[in-house]
Amino acid sequence: MDALDLARWQFGIVTVYHFLFVPLTIGLSFLVALMQTAWYRTGDPKFLKMTKFWGKLFLINFAMGVVTGIVQEFQFGMNWSAYSRFVGDVFGAPLAIEALVAFFLEATFIGLWIFGWDRLPKGIHLACIWLVAISTNLSAFFILAANSWMQHPVGFEINPERGRAELTSLWAVLNNSTNQVAYPHVATAAFLTAAAFIIGISAWHLHRRQHTEVMRESMKMGFVVALIFGVGVTVSGDLQAKVMTEQQPMKMAAAEAIWDTQAPASFSVFTVGTPDGQSELFSVRVPYLLSFMATGDPNGEVEGIRDIQRESEEQFGPGDYRPIIPVTYWTFRYMIGFGAVTAALALLGLIMMRGGRNPAEKRWFYLAALWTIPFPLIANSFGWVFTEMGRQPWVVYSQMFTADGVSPLVGPWMVATSLTVLTLLYLVLAVVEVGLIVRYVKAGPPEDDASGPIEPPERDAGARPDDERERPLTFAY
């Protein structure tokens, strides 16, 4: 493998890994803020226990999202210096705005929220978690504005002398039609992810008939959120497909592996094809569906890979403009499938919960809920792999090839070193993180007084007269 392949593997691994934590952070921050708001409004200790229990799991996850995020910013310069030089004038702006506006807010108010229990007035403390929730969404918006620019570059012109893209309108970059559908799709998927997490864990406790008050409330919240955002992620995904068909026709054709232009076009649920992927032996199909997904018209024409390849050669010169078709075909299906199963489980659970019944009493439902926890994470990962692999061979669609973006003088062994080091580190941290999550899930919500007994301060031997005497911190690392 050369440095290009290694750098691509590294980008894929560290980005997908980072994005395991991000959606949970986005979704859970909001849901924990809602729980705390319920406690603030009603004073019901049930909601405080919910806030503390889910809040702790949220923080275990949050830490990983923060530290793996630094790699994201650094690796553009490290592995993709030619890309950075080409796009920096345009692409750097949303990243810098994200850092200044969103990350500062998030990092500051998360500290205030963690350490602010019993130290800040209740209303201010509640505002802290809301600011964290808002900032996670702001940061998602700006990072997706940056990514949308790679999918559909706008608001720039090429300076041939400098060989770079130069900003003409930041508003156009932030208001990119691609981001108008990409951001809602990612945000709704994040809420679905958090909801599945809550459903599965609540089911674990409810199956054991413990902490029923807290877990029942949590599970109901999970079902409702999963259902609302399950619909949201479908609608936004549908809108995104139409934008994608218009802006990146090759990606849509590759998602369906449709080689020849068709009208109407059917959607294949799965296909068995020849090894070269160019002709199919057997498939299960839904007629008109692809036409509808791509164009909004059941008889609409969907362009095939061969035609788009020919047009691309005319437009951009000779070359292979096809992504790896089996990858785009299957990731597209897995994304939809894993997401749909999650939403379906929520609908089923909500029905089974009517009349005060406990759906987790049924062993099959409990197991299904538990196994569904990773489903949205898998769907998210496949979604990213699809949209990034589907853009290939471009790194910036129609402007720069991925192969031209890699750092020219960073040797393969250097990329291999960082790929190995980061992958091993990430594996170890994944084990640690999952272990902690399991531990704190099993521990359940805190009993009764969530802040714990307050013990009188002890005088230590070396105390001097100027020492301040205070009770212990409610929370300390």
Smaller CB distance to another protein: residue 356 or 456? 456
Smaller CB distance to another protein: residue 62 or 223? 62
Least Å distance between CB 352 and another protein?
30
Interface with another protein (CB under 8 A), residue from 351, 425, 427, 430:
425
State both tokens at 75. 């690796």
Contact 202, 215 (CB under 8 A): yes
Interface with another protein (CB under 8 A), residue from 12, 92, 277, 374:
92
Interface with another protein (CB under 8 A), residue from 13, 16, 170, 235:
170
88 binds another protein (CB under 8 A): yes
Interface segment toward another protein; rule CB under 8 A; list 190-198, 312-320, 351-359, 456-464: 456-464
Interface with another protein (CB under 8 A), residue from 104, 263, 351, 434:
104
Contact 223, 230 (CB under 8 A): no
462 binds another protein (CB under 8 A): yes
410 binds another protein (CB under 8 A): yes
Interface segment toward another protein; rule CB under 8 A; list 180-188, 296-304, 310-318, 401-409: 401-409
DSSP type of residue 209 = T
Q: What string marks each residue from 54 to 73 as x (binds another protein by CB under 8 A) or -?
A: --x--xx-xxx-xxxxxx-x
150 binds another protein (CB under 8 A): no
* One-letter identity of residue 37: T
413 binds another protein (CB under 8 A): no
Smaller CB distance to another protein: residue 224 or 473? 473
440 binds another protein (CB under 8 A): yes
Contact 400, 394 (CB under 8 A): yes
Interface segment toward another protein; rule CB under 8 A; list 180-188, 198-206, 344-352, 455-463: 455-463
Nearest to residue 475, comparing CAs of 132, 106, 119?
Answer: 119
87 binds another protein (CB under 8 A): yes
CA 82 to chain centre: 27
User: Per-residue DSSP letters for 87-148?
Assistant: HHHHHHHHHHHIIIIIIHHHHHHHHHHHH-TTTS-HHHHHHHHHHHHHHHHHHHHHHHHHHH
Going by C-beta distance under 8 Å and a sequence separation of 6 or more, which residues neighbour residue 432? none
Least Å distance between CB 190 and another protein?
20
| DSSP strands (E only) in 108-264 | 156-159, 164-167
Phi then psi for residue 280, to 5 deg, are -105, 150
Quickly tell me which residue has 């100027």 as its tokens. Answer: 466
Interface with another protein (CB under 8 A), residue from 4, 13, 16, 120:
120
Least Å distance between CB 461 and another protein?
8
Nearest to residue 273, comparing CAs of 221, 217, 326, 219?
Answer: 326
